[in-house]
Amino acid sequence: MWPLRTMLFIPAHKRDWAERVDRFAPDSVVIDLEDALPLELKVEGRAMARDMIGLMKEKGIPAFVRINAMSETGAEDVSAIVCDGLAGIMPPKSRTVEEIRALDRLLGYEEGRAGLPHGQVAIMPLPETAEGLWAARDLAAASNRCRGIIGVTGGPISGDVARAVGFSPSLEGTEQLYLASKMVLDSRAGGAVYPMASIIGTKLDDHAAVEMLVKRAKSLGFTGAVLIHPSHVAIAQKVFRPTEDEIRYFAGMIAAMEDAFARGDAAVSYRGSMVDYAMLPLAREVVEEGRRNGVTTQ
C-alpha cells in the first residue's frame, strides 16, 4: 500500500463520518483516540476504534490508529485495538527509542493473540516534544515496523510542535523549514522511507492555503499528507500522485535506458537531457504507482 499519499483523521466516536469516507477516497484513515476524542470517551473509544477498523476493512481502506502517548495510556489502547484490518499505530508525543521498542514488543504480542502475521502492524512515530524532534532519526531506526516519521507543515496556528520548539508559525513557513527538512532526513536515514506531513493551521475552507502547504511538504521530501478535513484529500492526492504525463515521461525514460543497455551503453540522451542508472529507481517507482492507480503507459 506504500507510498500512502493521504491519511485522513477521523475521531473514534464519529462512526457516521467513517461510513461516508468512501466518497473522499483517502488512501488511508487515522482513527483518533487522542486529541480529537473527548476525555470522558477515552476508554469507551477503544471499542469504537476497533469497530471502525472493521468498517474500514470492509471498505478496503487501510486503518491506522493514533493512540494516546505511550507514557500515558497508549499501551492499554494498543491491547484493545489490535485486530485484523489494523494497518498501523501512530504514537503521539514520541520521545525515546525505548518507547518505540516497547510498542514494537507489545504489537508483536498482540498480533500473536489476534492470530495476525508478526510485523503486520506498522508504526508511524509522531514526535511532538523537543526531545522527540531532536531524536527523530533514532525513533525511525528503533523498529523495523517504522514506515515514516510524521512531521508538520503548518499555517499560523500554534500546535504541539510549535510550542515544543518555540517558533511562531506563519503561513510563509520560513521558521519551519529546518525542522520539516530534518524530519524528512531523519526518517529516511533511520530506514523509515515514507515521511508524512501533517497539514494543520489553516482555515478548513481555505483550500488555496492547504494546497500551498501540501506543495511545500512535497517539495521538502515528504511522501504524503496527514489531513484533518475530508475536503483536503483531493487536494493532496492531486499534488502527491504523479500525473499521467509524468508517468509516461518516466516510462519513456525506462524504455530509452533499456535500449541503451542493449547497445552496451549506460547513459543516453532522453528528451534533451542525459540520463543514466541514477535516474532509474525514481522512474520505476513513478511508473509502478501509476500502474497501481490504473494509468497505462501506452
228-252 confidence digits (pLDDT tens): 999 999 999 999 999 899 999 999 9
Confidence of residue 298 (pLDDT cuts 50, 70, 90): low
Contact status, residue 147 vs residue 168, Cβ threshold 8 Å: no
Q: Which domains does the chain have, with CATH numbers?
A: 6-240 (3.20.20.60), 244-292 (no CATH)
Alpha helices, DSSP H, located in 201-279: 207-220, 233-240, 244-262
- What percent of the chain lies above the pLDDT cut of 70? 99
Write the DSSP string, 79-148: HHH--TTEEEEE-BT---HHHHHHHHHHHHHHHHHHTPPTT-SEE--B--SHHHHHTHHHHHHS-TTB--
Residues 64-81 have a mean pLDDT of 97
Measured CA to CA, the distance from residue 41 to residue 13 in angstroms comes to 8
260-284 confidence digits (pLDDT tens): 889 998 889 999 999 988 999 999 9
Contact status, residue 122 vs residue 149, Cβ threshold 8 Å: no
Residues 22-51 have a mean pLDDT of 95
Residues 287-295 have a mean pLDDT of 85
Quote the mean pLDDT of the chain.
Answer: 95
Which segment of 13-27, 141-155, 266-280 scores lowest on mean pLDDT? 266-280
* Residue burial 228-251, b: 16+ Cβ < 10 Å; e: rest: bbbebbebbbebbbbeeebbbbbb
Confidence of residue 1 (pLDDT cuts 50, 70, 90): confident
Residue 295 scores a pLDDT above 80 = no
Q: Which amino acid is at 71?
A: S
Measured CA to CA, the distance from residue 192 to residue 149 in angstroms comes to 7
Residues 128-142 have a mean pLDDT of 97
Confidence of residue 127 (pLDDT cuts 50, 70, 90): very high
pLDDT at 291: 87
- What percent of the chain lies above the pLDDT cut of 90? 90
pLDDT at 246: 92
